[in-house]
Amino acid sequence: MENNATTTNQAAEKETVVNKILGAISGSFAPILGVLAGSGLISALLSILMSLGWVSAESGTYAILSAAGHAVFYFFPIFLGYTMANKLGANGFVGAAIGAALLEPSYVNLVTNQAQEVAFLGIPVMLASYSSTVFPILIAASIYALLDKFLRKVIYKELQMFINPMISLLIIVPLTILIFGPFGTYVGQGLAFVIQFLISNSAIITGAVMGAAWSFLTILGLHWAVIPIFIANLAATGLDPIMAMIAAAPFAQIGMGLGVFLKTKDTQLKLLAGSGLLPSALAGTTEIITYGILVRYKRTMLYVAIAGAIGGAINGALGVSGTAFALPSFLSIPVFTPIGLYVLGVFSSLLVAMVLTLVFGYEGKHDQAVVEITNKEFGLGNVKKETIASPLTGRVIPLNKLAEPLFSTETVGKGIAIEPTKGEIISPVDGVVTTLFPSKHAIGITSNEGAEILIYIGDNTVHLQGKYFTSHVKQWDPVKKGDLLIEFDLENIKAAGYDLKSPIIITNTEHYLDVKPMKEGDVQASEPLMKLDA
């Protein structure tokens, strides 16, 4: 018994470490994902202009646009140093300074001029170029955060403003150049080697697995662990085959969304699918389709997996690669090479998913029956004006203060966030539970008046896989305002390193004239929180 308990504790501890790593990576990449995608589209635009002969590589126009498109990647250690340090609770500007030290001309000149026998205090230095790298600064910023936490305990508060940054830079920058930098470089090269090994042995299988799995990795938040590999590969070789493989997944979602749009007679669902197609096709942001259709209609998951596997296998077999980081979309097609083969792969995914949806439908018998029952019994359909009560007790926070861009930019819908002081979610309306995630960290409720409400507990708490969460309802259960839905262990979730600021989102915002917050400061559960004007 003792051995079993020890093993369980060790497994839980190991899981917590993995969750913390994934949470740190996601928190450091999320704030800069937009500028990464935008810069990638500039690279795509440059490729189009050059292929049309409108711009030459020797022109000033090319140099300026190239600078706009490549700056964020060249200075990536600075951006990532800032966001990683911030995510871990340290000074973001010190993290940025550590990244900047790796690109400072005095050091860069040593690398460029291939200086011999460089040493720091008699210790030999292995010179390397760190522009566009990922893993060295991730490691350096993580160690800096630990050092900063220690310094805050031992340095007088009045001196911390300048002493802590000075000590941190004096220690971390040399350690990064001596140890963390070379180690991180080897990690990146090792991952690239593993990927190339898998592809060289079976590019078709590798592509099929990545294409099929990517949509679901994104839903679980595990995709953040793969994004650094893209950028590391691009920095090392200028090419990344994994990007081309996973590109099949968002195109499969676009195809599925188009199939639903063409097939459905439900005007609200048609509007939802149509509103999700434009950002997905032009910007690669598939969240509306993912959370509005894919999660809601389980049959579509199979279509997206099959179509993603086919497109990923084609791109893998044909040796397609990305040349710059970009979210897969119609506009980013020129980023991939060879373009013709890439188009063949991703459009195969789009067409397969669309045809499967049109032929077999997006609803299973269970889905259809439940929709009909809930529409009849709970009055779901056209939305009506209503007031949404607070499902949590805590402090009200605007959505734009959240780290997750999916919520802070109102991509999923308008709403408000609450930092809870009590680990209970109660029903904010009379209605029905339409979505309950297996990890119990999020729940969707549709009110009798037609409001679709998503309550998402904390940031990246999906990685806890249900630990510290207890659900008191099941999917499709009818609920009354004030009913207890989910209990969660507030203190243990915080102790595990998770931010508990919880968004409450109206996911069918487009059906309302306005979504107005009604509360500031502290709020009690069941108090009026939002007013929906129809």
Crossing angle of helices 2-29 and 135-154, rounded to 10°: 110
Mean pLDDT calculated for residue range 398-410:
81
Domain boundaries, the chain: 2-202, 212-371, 380-533
Report the range of poorest mean pLDDT among 34-43, 119-128, 387-396: 34-43
Q: Give how far Cα 314 sits from Cα of 62, 196, 306, 340, Å.
A: 33, 16, 13, 12
What pLDDT, on the 0 to 100 scale, is given for residue 411?
72
Q: What is the mean pLDDT of the chain?
A: 82
What pLDDT, on the 0 to 100 scale, is given for residue 348?
96
Mean pLDDT calculated for residue range 334-341:
91
Confidence band, pLDDT 50/70/90 cuts, at residue 2: very low
Confidence band, pLDDT 50/70/90 cuts, at residue 470: very high
pLDDT tens per residue, range 70-129:
888 788 889 989 988 888 888 889 999 999 998 888 888 887 777 777 778 888 878 777
Instruction: Please work out, in degrees rounded to the nearest 5, the angle formed at the alpha carbon of residue 228 by the alpha carbons of 456 and 400.
Output: 35
pLDDT tens per residue, range 487-528:
999 998 988 888 899 999 998 887 788 889 998 899 999 999
- HSE-CB for 261 with a 13 A CA cutoff: 17
Label residues 277-286 b or e (16+ Cβ within 10 Å = b).
bebbbebbbb
CA distance 27 to 474: 31
- Number of Cβ within 10 Å of residue 351's Cβ equals 18
Q: Is residue 228 scored above 50 in pLDDT?
A: yes
- Taken in order 353, 354, 359, 361, the sign of the CA dihedral is positive
Confidence band, pLDDT 50/70/90 cuts, at residue 303: very high
Mean pLDDT calculated for residue range 218-240:
73
CA distance 252 to 485: 34
More confident residue, 339 or 278: 339
Confidence band, pLDDT 50/70/90 cuts, at residue 313: very high
| Both structure tokens of 417 | 């966030």
Mean pLDDT calculated for residue range 191-199:
72
Phi, psi for 482 (deg, rounded to 5): 100, -10
Which alpha helices (DSSP H) does 155-266 contain, by range?
160-175, 181-220, 227-237, 241-246, 248-263
What pLDDT, on the 0 to 100 scale, is given for residue 291?
66
Instruction: Please work out, in degrees rounded to the nearest 5, the angle formed at the alpha carbon of residue 330 by the alpha carbons of 324 and 331.
Output: 55
- HSE-CB for 109 with a 13 A CA cutoff: 3
Question: Coil, helix or strand for 261?
Answer: helix
Confidence band, pLDDT 50/70/90 cuts, at residue 231: confident
What pLDDT, on the 0 to 100 scale, is given for residue 381?
47
CATH code for the structural domain at 380-533: 2.70.70.10
Q: What pTM was estimated for this model as a whole?
A: 0.54
| Both structure tokens of 451 | 């409001």
- CB of 524 within 8 A of CB of 393? yes
Chain length of the chain: 534
pLDDT tens per residue, range 278-297:
778 877 777 668 767 887 78
The helix, strand and coil proportions of the chain, stated in percent and rounded to the nearest 5, come to 60, 15, 25
Residue with tokens 């991952």, as numbered in its chain? 191
What pLDDT, on the 0 to 100 scale, is given for residue 162?
86
Report the range of poorest mean pLDDT among 151-165, 207-221, 407-421, 446-460: 207-221
Q: Is residue 3 scored above 50 in pLDDT?
A: no
What pLDDT, on the 0 to 100 scale, is given for residue 30?
66
What pLDDT, on the 0 to 100 scale, is given for residue 364?
55
Q: Which of these, 144, 40, 128, lies nearest to 96 by C-alpha position?
A: 144
